[in-house]
Every structure is written in C-alpha cells, then in structure tokens.
Amino acid sequence: METITVKKLVTHSLIALTLPALIASGSQALAAEKSSAERAIEYRESIMNIFSWNLKAMGSVVKGESAYDQAAFAQHAADLAAAARLNLLAGFPEGSDEGETGAKAEVWMTPDDFKEKYQALQTKSEALVSAAASGNLDAIRPAFGDTANSCKECHKAYKE
C-alpha cells in the first residue's frame, strides 16, 4: 500500500482544484475568440456607424433642426468622406453573410453592383466636402441629398 504524504496530498488537491478552472478558462477564451466572419461584420458595421453619425449630424442641420456651424458641418463632411475612403468592401468576405448581419445575400451575388454603389458614395461624399467648404447652405443641401440618396440606394438593394 502506498503511503500518502502531506506533499502528495497537497499536490493532488491543488491539481483537483485548479484543473477544472484552467479547463473552464481555456474554453471561455476559445469562445471569446471571434471568427474572421464576425470580425468582418464588426469592421463593416463600425464604418457604417461612422457614416450614420456624420449623416445624422449633417441631416439635422440641412432639415433646420440644428443650427448651422460651418466648421462643424465641414468636419462632419470630411469625416464622412474619410470613412468612405476606407475599404468597406473588405468587410464583406465570403462567409460573412452568416450570423448577426443586416446584409442581404445580394451583396455576394452581385458584387460589381455593390462596389459601384459604394463608389457612388465615395464620389458624392467628396462633392459634399467641397460644398461644405463653400459655407453656402444652398450648395450644401443638394450635395447632402445626393450623398444621403447614395446611401439609401445601397441600403434598398443590399440591407435587410
């Protein structure tokens, strides 16, 4: 019969107590690690949130709901255009149509049209930057409308 020493008892007790915790923490770490599709969805949603933030602020001014501040409006236009220059299309890799996404399957079925609509936003947002620099609300309103409509057209075709 084997003699159980205090040292063995302590060692086995520590193993018995810590092993389940290590296994649990390892499985939680694996569960917390995001798939490339989940990261792609987060990437594109982050860019869309930048669009939304800036469009809402400018829309409020264009509708007369907020006071016009030329510098603030110009900054929102510049931020929108900068975000539009990001590679949003990289946020739609194959396989990122699963999970919590508002994107329709048409994004992946008609990628050339999707790209064309995104390029329209890029062009329109740059025109909005120029209009915003003028400080003339009569020039800004149609440029803002064109930019917002490019978003709407894409959403109509590609967002659930």
Q: What is the pLDDT of residues 84-140, one digit of tens each?
A: 999 999 999 999 998 888 999 999 999 999 999 999 999 999 999 999 999 999 999
Kindly report whether the global pTM for this prediction surpasses the value 0.95: no
| Structure confidence at residue 137 (pLDDT) | 97
Q: Are residues 80 and 150 in the same domain?
A: yes
| Structure confidence at residue 100 (pLDDT) | 84
CA–chain centroid gap for 46, Å, is 2
Amino acid code (one letter) for 23: I
Query: In whole angstroms, what is the distance from residue 3 CA to residue 9 CA?
Result: 10
| Structure confidence at residue 99 (pLDDT) | 80
Q: Are residues 17 and 62 in the same domain?
A: no
> pLDDT averaged over the chain?
88
Q: Are residues 105 and 143 in the same domain?
A: yes
Short-list 58, 49, 153, CA closest to 91: 49
The residue range of the domain holding 89 is 35-158
Q: What is the pLDDT of residues 11-54, one digit of tens each?
A: 555 555 555 555 555 545 544 688 999 999 999 999 999 999 99
Q: Are residues 109 and 149 in the same domain?
A: yes
